[in-house]
Amino acid sequence: MKTCKDSIDVLLQYLDGELPAEDAAALESHLGCCTPCVEFLRTYRATTHLCKRALAQKMPESVTASLDAFLKERLGK
């Protein structure tokens, strides 16, 4: 029987589909009887999505202008 720690240690491989079938079955067996790990898996997956959205950046117009000026100067024309 896997422990929570055993399960969490292999979550990345599991979500990447790279966990050997036997290990994946053991993990899924653990998830079937461990609510905290099910919630942990949900939050582990949600973390990537939340971070990607939280770290989105807009480019200021001033940067666009300075890039245009830089390229005109360096590339000629």
Partner 1 sequence: MGERPAGLTFSRHGYPLAALPPESDARPLDGLLARAREGDLSAFEALVAATREQVYGLALRMMGTDADAAEVLQETYLSAYQGLSAYRGEAAFSSWVYRIAANHCLMRLRHRKVRAAAEDALAEPEYTPRGSLAGMPAEAWGRSAEDDALDAELRMAIQRATDALPEAHREVFLLKDVEGLSYEDIAGMLGDSVPAIKSRLHRARLSLREAIDRFYNEKGLQPGGQDGI
Site track for partner 1 across 10-39, x = CB under 8 A: -xxx--x-----------------xxxx-x
Site size with partner 1, rule: CB under 8 A: 46
Please state, in angstroms and rounded to a whole number, the distance separating the CA atoms of residues 7 and 28. 9
To partner 1, the closest distance from the beta carbon of 15 in angstroms equals 10
| 46 forms part of the interface with partner 1 (CB under 8 A) | yes
Please state, in angstroms and rounded to a whole number, the distance separating the CA atoms of residues 21 and 75. 55
Q: Which helix (H) or strand (E) holds 69?
A: helix 61-75
Binding site for partner 1 (CB under 8 A): 3-6, 8, 11-13, 16, 34-37, 39-60, 63-64, 66-68, 70-71, 74-77
